[in-house]
Amino acid sequence: MRLCRLKHADRDQVGLYDDEHIVLLDAAAKAFAKATGTTVKVPPGDDLLPLLPPEGEAFGAVKQVAAWVAEHGEELPGDAVVSTGDAKLLVPIPRPNKLLLLAGNYAAHIEEGGDRAAERADTFPYVFMKPPRTTLTNPGQPVVIPSNSPDAIDWELELAVVIGRRAKRVSEADALDYVAGYTVINDISNRQFRPNPGRKERSRDRFFDWLHGKWFDSFCPCGPCITTADAIPDPQTLSMRLTLNDTLRQDANTARQVFPVAAVIEFISNICTLEPGDVISTGTPAGVGNTTGTFLHAGDELRATIEQIGTLASPVVNESR
């Protein structure tokens, strides 16, 4: 099951997502009740967490409605269906308590940057954070090139994990039981950000230049939907593709991760408690722009696709002065 948030009829709503069309959940629940005589309780509002496994109180009901829609979509009223291409999609989890991302989780990406990839047993996941309120960006909304450092803005297609149950010191073997679902993130990066370029260099400047280059407004497009965890029992089998202006730039599979999703959850949950709605983005494969000096410019369009989830489209614009 794929669920999305969208703005429709002047309010934020929940939809059953498809690549071609979106079915408004409220309307689908009413049609289901009318056709079957079974009333399902769908929580009001546009929060997806109550609709997701493993602990969402409405997950079972919504899954029942989604199954009915898949077989009886022709019985829906016309105003219950919105063309996906015309929909104003919203970030699936707009205000996660934690937005965590991984660096260097695909060996080929490490190697394309000129470093040597270590074996899993010899290293650990490199985890950093982005400020969610200002970096998370709706599907279809632009990535904004910052005017103070515009010349090396890069893309990073990533599988993101939405946590659905409080997780503290969970094992890798049990970690996927804490996942609500999966979405797509594009971890936009400023590869050459150097605040105070006339500064006196310190030993950690290079790391903080890299980290601060992740934090610009709009630098974390996310969406277009969440695919529930039950629909992706093994997140290490998903193909990933990113195009820039219809040119293929990244083409990989989540099987190539150094640390699989379950290992990442184990590692982080042994440091801090993961909470429902937390988002973990699991790193990017090879094919970023920095390797070839191909960076983003106003007028570009990125399309980041992960199998069984969908395509996250992001135009690129310059910052308004």
> Are 170 and 209 part of one and the same domain?
yes
Q: Which of 2-16, 106-120, 126-140, 214-228 has the lowest mean pLDDT?
A: 106-120
Output the pLDDT for position 76.
94
Host domain of residue 108: 91-318
> Are 107 and 22 part of one and the same domain?
no
> Are 112 and 83 part of one and the same domain?
no
Residue among 281, 145, 297, 289 at smallest CA distance from 222:
281
Q: Single out the residue in 57, 89, 121 at which a domain terminates.
A: 89
State pLDDT tens for residues 196-222: 888 999 999 999 999 999 999 999 999
> Are 158 and 293 part of one and the same domain?
yes
Q: Which residues contact 162 (CB under 8 A, 6 or more apart)?
A: 52, 92, 93, 179, 180, 181, 182, 183, 226, 277, 278, 279
321 has a pLDDT exceeding 80: no
Q: Which of 88-92, 112-116, 139-143, 260-264 has the lowest mean pLDDT?
A: 112-116
| 177 DSSP β-pair partners | none
Q: Which of 84-88, 197-201, 238-242, 245-249 has the lowest mean pLDDT?
A: 197-201
Q: Single out the residue in 89, 113, 128 at which a domain terminates.
A: 89
Which strands make up the sheet holding 247-253, listed edge to edge?
143-145, 310-318, 301-306, 239-244, 247-253
Number of structural domains the chain divides into: 2
Handedness of CA 133, 139, 144, 149 (dihedral sign): positive
> Are 230 and 121 part of one and the same domain?
yes
Report the percentage of the chain scoring pLDDT > 90: 92
Report CA dihedral (40, 86, 306, 17) to the nearest 10 degrees. Answer: 10
Q: How many residues does the chain have?
A: 321
Please report, for the domain that includes residue 165, its CATH number: 3.90.850.10
State the average pLDDT over residues 135-164: 98
Output the pLDDT for position 110.
80
Higher local confidence (pLDDT), 119 or 221: 221
> Are 57 and 109 part of one and the same domain?
no
249 has a pLDDT exceeding 90: yes
Output the pLDDT for position 228.
98
> Are 95 and 84 part of one and the same domain?
no
- The one-character DSSP state at 104 is S
**Helix, strand, or coil here: 82?**
strand
> Are 253 and 280 part of one and the same domain?
yes
> Are 54 and 182 part of one and the same domain?
no
Q: Single out the residue in 31, 60, 89 at which a domain terminates.
A: 89
**Across all residues in the chain, what is the average pLDDT?**
96
Distance, in Å, from the CA atom of 165 to the CA atom of 173, rounded to the nearest integer, reads: 15
Q: How many CA atoms lie within 13 A of 274 on its CB side?
A: 28
> Are 127 and 259 part of one and the same domain?
yes
State pLDDT tens for residues 66-114: 999 999 989 999 999 999 999 999 999 999 999 999 999 998 888 887 7
Q: How many CA atoms lie within 13 A of 168 on its CB side?
A: 3
> Are 54 and 165 part of one and the same domain?
no
The pair of three-digit structure tokens given for residue 65, joined into one six-digit string: 């409605």
Angle at the Cα of 117 (from 102 to 259), degrees rounded to 5? 40
**Is the bond leading into 235 cis (omega within 30 degrees of zero)?**
no
> Are 203 and 264 part of one and the same domain?
yes
Q: Which residues contact 1 (CB under 8 A, 6 or more apart)?
A: 16, 62, 63, 66, 227, 228, 230, 231
